[in-house]
């Protein structure tokens, strides 16, 4: 029986190209967390990496986008004393009153996207701070962000993936022509060029001819030092939300599938965030009962193969010609606006938004309890 409200920090922003996307997701999470169970505290990470204590009253009035006041008090997070809760400290002056006198917090809810946010780096820092946090741990976060390593693990687990080549920046600089030839011989055109470590389709290009190849690769290399060249499959984009099962002996929970039907050539960053009619979201996806079961089983196996915890959204391709499913990618911190696919698919599956957030906080606390019971050192 919980005898007090838990202090939950909604952590948002971050040093990534998806900073602005995070502000919208965070606003939804901040306002929909159950205030009967949680005291919710807004903390932002600005684009230079500073953690800032945002004003609670201002955040409470900001419905669509949580603010990032660059003049707000700068924070540090340190482990608690002898296994106690981690504590926030102000770099200068005093903490705002809503942190309490000791600055202790119970759970960190990261609502961040992209590199230095959902790629295991932030999760590693939270591990060092001995903080309970929502979502996947260091390993799954890092692998989920790195599309090449995710594909390796999925392939080894016998889960179908789209054929691809992986090119490092030095390799491309040394022999761009040979890589273009290899891609053409194996995949023909079109192909997709994408940074290995990015999200929200940032830097992704659909390359239809040799004349477009070099520019697409250079743009992708401006975002990451490792780039994937993937065979283009004429496919429907099917997504599923996965939630860790509180019973560790049971497989993860998987939502009904949804479908992204982009009006653009593919589901690009512009289609996702800049064009209001960029895509149609169908929940449930109009696929057969047998295909629903197949997709759910593949999503569960994918989550387990990547050692997922907390949550993930698994994105599949459904080949229009063959009817085969392929795993496209895994998002360990998916978009969380009220209309984002992850919460909407759970809502259509019977778990409404606030209950979903509560479950995620409870899973974070349970995992922290289990880790603290382990012998260290």
| 119: its two tokens | 């790629």
Task: Name the domain boundary from 185, 203, 231.
Answer: 231
Same-domain check for residues 260 and 338:
yes
Sheet holding 205-207, edge to edge: 164-168, 226-231, 191-195, 205-207
Q: Which residues contact 5 (CB under 8 A, 6 or more apart)?
A: 36, 37, 38, 39
- Residues 225 and 248 both lie in one domain: no
Q: Tell me the CATH number at 219.
A: 3.30.1490.20
Q: Are residues 185 and 281 in the same domain?
A: no
Residue 276 has pLDDT above 60, yes or no: no
Q: Find tokens 């053409």 and name the residue.
A: 184
Q: In the listed set 180, 199, 231, which residue is the last one of a domain according to the structure? A: 231
Whether residue 156 is contained in a domain is answered as: no
Question: Is residue 137 a part of any domain in this protein?
Answer: yes
Domain end position, chosen among 144, 175, 205: 144
Domain range for residue 328? 234-368
Q: Are residues 13 and 72 in the same domain?
A: yes
Query: Three-class SS of residue 182?
Result: helix
Residue 246, CA distances (Å) to 94, 350, 359 in order: 38, 17, 9
User: From CA 292, how far away is CA 175, in angstroms rounded?
Assistant: 43
- List Cα–Cα distances, 299 to 75, 118, 251, 343, in angstroms: 38, 19, 11, 16
* pLDDT of the residue at 253: 98
Q: What is the DSSP letter of 104?
A: B
pLDDT at 264 over 80: no
Tokens of 56: 């609670």
CATH number, residue 272:
3.30.470.20
Average pLDDT over residues 244-257: 96
Question: Residues 43-52: what's their mean pLDDT?
Answer: 97
Q: Do 56 and 98 lie in a common domain?
A: yes
Same domain for 238 and 223, yes or no, is: no
Q: Do both 137 and 193 map to the same domain? A: no
- Extended beta strands in the chain, E state: 6-13, 38-45, 51-53, 74-78, 87-90, 107-112, 164-168, 191-195, 205-207, 226-231, 235-243, 253-254, 258-262, 279-282, 311-319, 325-331
pLDDT for res 308: 97
- Has residue 149 been placed in a domain? no
Smallest Cα–Cα separation from 199: which of 67, 331, 324? 331
The confidence score (pLDDT) of residue 274 equals: 47
User: Quick one: CA dihedral 324, 328, 333, 334, positive or negative?
Assistant: negative
Q: What pLDDT is attached to residue 275? A: 43
For the segment 232-236, the average pLDDT, to the nearest whole number, is: 95
Q: Do 206 and 258 belong together in one domain?
A: no
Write the CATH number for 14: 3.40.50.20
Answer whether residue 153 is part of any domain.
Answer: no
Do 247 and 317 lie in one domain? The reply is yes
**Count of domains in the chain?**
3
Higher pLDDT, 279 or 353: 353
Do 210 and 138 belong to one domain?
no
Q: What is the pLDDT of residues 147-160, one digit of tens each?
A: 999 999 999 999 99
Tell me: do 225 and 247 sit in the same domain: no
pLDDT level of residue 284 (50, 70, 90 thresholds): very high
Q: E strand or H helix at 148, and its extent?
A: helix 147-156
Are 167 and 179 a contacting pair, CB within 8 Å?
yes
Kindly state the greatest CA–CA separation across the chain.
66
Q: Are 14 and 45 in contact (CB under 8 A)?
A: yes
Q: Does 246 lie in the same domain as 308?
A: yes
Q: How far is CA 318 from the centre of its chain?
A: 22
Q: Is residue 72 part of a domain?
A: yes
Provide mean pLDDT across the span 317-333: 96
State pLDDT tens for residues 181-229. 999 999 999 999 999 987 656 789 999 999 999 999 999 999 999 999 9
Question: Does the pLDDT of residue 170 top 70, yes or no?
Answer: yes
Q: Is residue 311, in this structure, part of any structural domain at all?
A: yes
Q: Structure tokens of 239?
A: 């997504």
Asked whether residue 298 is assigned to any structural domain, the reply reads yes
**Of the candidates 65, 38, 43, 46, the residue with the CA atom closest to the CA atom of residue 55:** 43
Strands 164-168 and 38-45: unpaired
Note whether residue 159 is domain-resident. no
């Amino acid at each position: 029986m919980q005898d007090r409200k838990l202090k939950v920090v909604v952590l948002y922003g971050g040093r990534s190209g998806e900073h602005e996307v995070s502000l919208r997701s965070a606003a939804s999470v901040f306002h929909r967390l159950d205030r009967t169970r949680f005291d919710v505290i807004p903390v932002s990470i600005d684009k230079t990496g500073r953690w800032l204590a945002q004003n609670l009253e201002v955040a409470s009035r900001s419905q669509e986008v949580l603010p990032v006041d660059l003049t707000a008090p700068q924070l540090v997070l340190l482990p608690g004393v002898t296994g106690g809760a981690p504590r926030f400290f102000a770099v200068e002056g005093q903490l705002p009153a809503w942190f309490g006198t000791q600055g202790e917090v119970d759970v960190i809810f990261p609502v961040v996207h992209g590199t230095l946010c959902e790629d295991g780096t932030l999760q590693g820092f939270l591990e060092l701070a001995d903080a309970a946090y929502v979502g996947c741990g260091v390993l799954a976060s890092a692998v989920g962000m790195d599309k090449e390593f995710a594909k390796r693990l999925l392939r080894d687990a016998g889960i179908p993936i789209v054929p691809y080549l992986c090119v490092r920046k030095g390799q491309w600089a040394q022999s761009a022509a040979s890589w273009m030839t290899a891609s053409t011989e194996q995949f023909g055109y079109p192909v997709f060029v994408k940074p290995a470590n990015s999200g929200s389709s940032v830097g992704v290009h659909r390359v239809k001819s040799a004349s477009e190849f070099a520019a697409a690769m250079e743009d992708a290399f401006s975002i990451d030092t490792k780039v994937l060249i993937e065979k283009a499959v004429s496919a429907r984009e099917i997504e599923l939300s996965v939630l860790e099962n509180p019973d560790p002996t049971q497989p993860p929970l998987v939502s009904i599938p949804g479908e992204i039907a982009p009006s653009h050539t593919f589901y690009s960053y512009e289609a996702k965030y800049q064009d209001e009619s960029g895509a149609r979201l169908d929940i449930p996806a109009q696929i057969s009962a047998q295909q629903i079961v197949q997709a759910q089983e593949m999503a569960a196996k994918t989550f387990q193969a990547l050692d997922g915890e907390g949550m993930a959204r698994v994105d599949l391709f459904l080949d229009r010609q063959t009817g085969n499913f392929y795993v496209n990618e895994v998002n360990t911190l998916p978009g969380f606006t009220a209309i984002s696919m992850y919460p909407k698919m759970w809502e259509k599956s019977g778990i409404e938004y606030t209950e979903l957030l509560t479950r995620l906080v409870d899973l974070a606390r349970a995992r922290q309890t289990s880790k603290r019971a382990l012998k260290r050192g």
